Chain A
Amino acid sequence: MTTTAVPAAPSADTPALDVEGLCVDLSTPSGRLRAVDGVSFSVRRGRTLALLGESGCGKSMTALSVVGLLDPAAEVTGGAVRVRGSDTLRMSPAERRKLAGPVLSIVFQDALTALNPVQPVGRQIGEPFRIHRGLSRREAREKAIELMTRVGIPEPRERARSYPHQFSGGMRQRLLIAMAVALDPDVLIADEPTTALDVTVQAQIMRLLRDLQDEREMAVVLITHDLAVVAQRADDVVVMYAGTVVEEGPVREVFSRPRHPYTRGLLDSVPEHAVRGRPLPAVPGSPPELSAVPSGCVFQDRCPLVRERCVRERPPLRASGDGRSAACHFSEELARA
């Protein structure tokens, strides 16, 4: 295999990843459901964008459609995913494969199942080099050992011959990260990279990701439901609810002055903010079934501010000029409150 040609790297001001109006439909026995509805966001190199939302809000589905790993039951029905100026959704599988690795890559949540149990890890980490750069087995191995050193695996030369089950959870996550950054991607998608790990290891992994990001100027899309991780790590945040974006903007501002009642509810339910001796505030109810997303505002059933207008019309995601936008009819009101 020869080295594959990849479109030139983007200049500093164009986004490394630009998702626009992404729609994903699911075919189910009871008909087609819209799992992701018009999601847009973009990230520049060196920046971190967090996709925040509760389980089932479509954040993983968004990530999987970006890297082209959607389940056959799901189908991208609209929108564009642009990397290096071209839309990956309209590429042939072969063109897409050229981008997979050197431009776009993903770190999965469950590191044990994401590694092949019968291959020594050194071989697996070397695989991207064999596929994209056509390196020999030995060269790929040396590269793999370099990467393992970089992500902090002790005694990498010996450990390259071990199998995934011989590593701890944190080490496995490091191996996955090594594999994902192997080809210096522009965009790294991290799909809940620390959810399966304990807290101390989580911090180490997040630090490793940040160091790698600084070193390689990657754009990172961090998918998580952990508000603390978002607050610490991300530059911008996109809050998702029931397949739609309800609020986006710089993390610091969104978290200090939320303009959507859902964001507000999430932030209020963090134990640190609670008042001692009073019940922990929570967002009441649960997200709507995809088959029963209301026609007005998606959040109307759980919203403390719900009014008649919310039932009638769905609020568009409106930009307010300061780099932020929110999908609420009453965001100004919320901001003032």
Chain B
Amino acid sequence: MTREEPAGADGTSPAPARHRPSWWRMLGRDRAASAAAVVLAVTTLVALFGRLVIGDRAQRQDLDASLRPPSLGEGVYGLLGTDVLGRSVLARLVDAAATTLSVAVPAVLCSLLIGSALGLWAGYHGGRRESVAMRVADVILSFPSLLVAVVVLYVFSPSALNLVLILAVARIPVYLRTARAEAAELRSRLFVDAARTFGTPGREIIRRHILPIALPTLLTVATLDFCFVMLTESSLSFLGIGIQPPDVSWGLMVAQGRQYLQTAWWITVLPGLAIVLTTVSATVLAAWARIATDPAQRWRLTLPVKRRGASAAVPPEMIP
């Protein structure tokens, strides 16, 4: 039963982390998740440091080199072709990565934090607090979020900060409802009662007993929402009230390249691909994290790679 590793055998200061297989090893056992982690790591690095490398290449125009297809002969910046103004698509992708992530990540984190906190609190306590929180969520949900964004961004200046705020507020109900549902179910579990029998106050119960169980679900929702937020940002940029040129985001690149789709597919397809790759990686990694954080499921990630094969999701005793 105990999957004990010799590392924890010193006995004096047993670190809890030693008991489960290390995160790295569990990640290594899941090829899809490892690939996703690599993609996300590369994207993050590019977003953080890419601008230092490319300088102003994303804005540098060269009308002679307009609409060049991807080719190997034009140096690094010609690798992925050029857009109508002759700007390097590669450089623009790198520049856009920073903008896109700097909108999507804070927006998702804000709504995740606020929505989950409110939802867990409402779901655990129930009653009037729950009703108020849920009605607020309903009100937010009853507006088409894109329409609200359009109105708000027209009234206020369409800056990145406003974009983050409006996206965050629009997505709070998603987390609020998920967290409330989880907390409402968990509060009637016996182990919550057991914690109450030795005097654990409500906020501690939420922190110790409810949050750890709800968290994997909320993180999965967050990664799915990540792509929604990126796409919404694209739509807003497309409408001209999101990211403003000369800044560029992946969504804006798709929008700008739309009219050249028949002649120059690379301007649209490549940023689209970047969006898809990032969101799929986030989702795959979230699925992995869900299993890795669940003590009862973790064994799946400790099986040798060969045996897991195609039937990875079936416990060994259920394989005929």
By a CB distance below 8 angstroms, the chain A residues around B197 are 67, 69, 100-101, 104-106, 180
Contact check: which of A67, A97, A114, A180 meets B190 at CB < 8 Å?
A114
Give the total of A residues in contact with B, Cβ under 8 Å. 42
Contact B198 A179 (CB under 8 A): yes
Write out the residue numbers on chain B whose beta carbons fall within 8 Å of the beta carbon of A166: 1-2, 295
Q: How far is the CA of A115 from the CA of B16 in the complex (A)?
A: 18
A162 CA to B194 CA in the complex, in Å? 19
Give the most central of B189, B190, B198, B201: most A CB within 10 Å: B198
Contacts of B195 in A (CB 8 A): 116, 127
- Chain B residues whose C-beta falls within 8 Å of the C-beta of A120 in the assembled complex: 16, 19, 295
Say yes or no for A318: interface residue by CB 8 A criterion: no
Are the CB atoms of B191 and A101 closer together than 8 Å? no
- Chain A 159-180 against B: per-residue CB contact (8 Å), 1 yes, 0 no? 1011101100000000010011
Give residues of chain A (41-60) contacting chain B, Cβ–Cβ below 8 Å: none
**Contact pattern, A 116-129, Cβ under 8 Å of B = 1, otherwise 0:** 11111001100110
B194 touches A114 (CB 8 A): yes
In the complex, what residues of A have CB within 8 A of residue B204's CB? 131
Q: 19 A-B residue contacts at CB 8 Å?
A: A68-B196, A69-B197, A96-B199, A100-B199, A105-B197, A110-B190, A113-B190, A114-B190, A114-B191, A116-B195, A116-B213, A117-B213, A118-B213, A155-B2, A158-B2, A162-B2, A163-B295, A163-B296, A179-B194
Known: A114-B191, A157-B14. A165 touches B296 (CB 8 A): yes
Q: How far is the CB of B173 from chain A (nearest CB, A)?
A: 26
Bitwise interface map of B from 170 to 191 toward A, beta carbon under 8 Å scored 1, else 0: 0000000000000000000111
- B258 in the interface (beta carbon within 8 A): no
CA distance A97 to B195 in the complex (A): 11
Chain A residues closer than 8 Å to B212, beta-carbon distance: 116, 118-119
| B2-17 at interface with A (beta carbon < 8 Å) | 2, 4, 8, 11, 14, 16
Given A98-B199, A99-B199, 5 more pairs with CB closer than 8 A: A69-B197, A97-B200, A108-B193, A131-B199, A157-B11
Q: Which of A110, A131, A162 contacts B200 (CB 8 A)?
A: A131
Q: How far is the CB of A163 from chain B (nearest CB, A)?
A: 4
A115 touches B19 (CB 8 A): no
Interface check A132, CB cutoff 8 A: yes
User: Which residues from B are CB-within-8-Å of A97?
Assistant: 199-201
B62 located at the interface, meaning its Cβ lies under 8 Å from any Cβ of chain A in the complex: no
Q: Is B25 an interface residue (CB 8 A)?
A: no
Is residue A201 contacting chain B, with contact meaning CB distance below 8 A?
A: no
Main secondary structure of the interface of A (DSSP, over half): mixed
**B31 interface residue, CB < 8 Å from A?**
no
Closest to B19 in A: A161
Which residues of chain A have a CB within 8 Å of any CB of chain B?
A: 67-69, 96-101, 104-106, 108, 110, 113-120, 123-124, 127-128, 131-132, 155, 157-159, 161-163, 165-166, 176, 179-180, 182-183
In the complex, the chain B residue whose C-beta lies closest to that of A165 is B296
- The answer to the question of B208 belonging to the interface, with a C-beta cut-off of 8 Å to chain A, is yes
Q: What's the Cα separation between A123 and B196 when bound, in Å?
A: 16
A182 touches B198 (CB 8 A): yes
Check A127–B200 contact: CB distance below 8 A.
Answer: yes
Find out whether the CB atom of B296 lies under 8 angstroms from the CB atom of A117.
Answer: yes
Bound-state Cα–Cα, A67 to B213, Å: 26
B74 within 8 A of A: no
Is there an interface contact between A132 and B198, defined as CB atoms closer than 8 Å?
yes
Query: B294 near A: Cβ within 8 Å?
Result: yes
The verdict on B51 contacting chain A, using a C-beta distance below 8 Å, is no
Least Cβ–Cβ distance between B178 and chain A, in angstroms: 17
- With A and B bound together, what is the CA distance between A121 and B319 in angstroms? 30
Most chain A CB inside 10 Å of its own CB: which residue of B19, B213, B293: B19
Q: How far is the CA of A130 from the CA of B18 in the complex (A)?
A: 23
Q: Chain B nearest CB: distance from A84 CB in Å?
A: 15
CB <8 Å contact, B2 and A108: no
A100-B199, A131-B199, A158-B4 as given contacts; A165 in contact with B194, CB under 8 Å = no
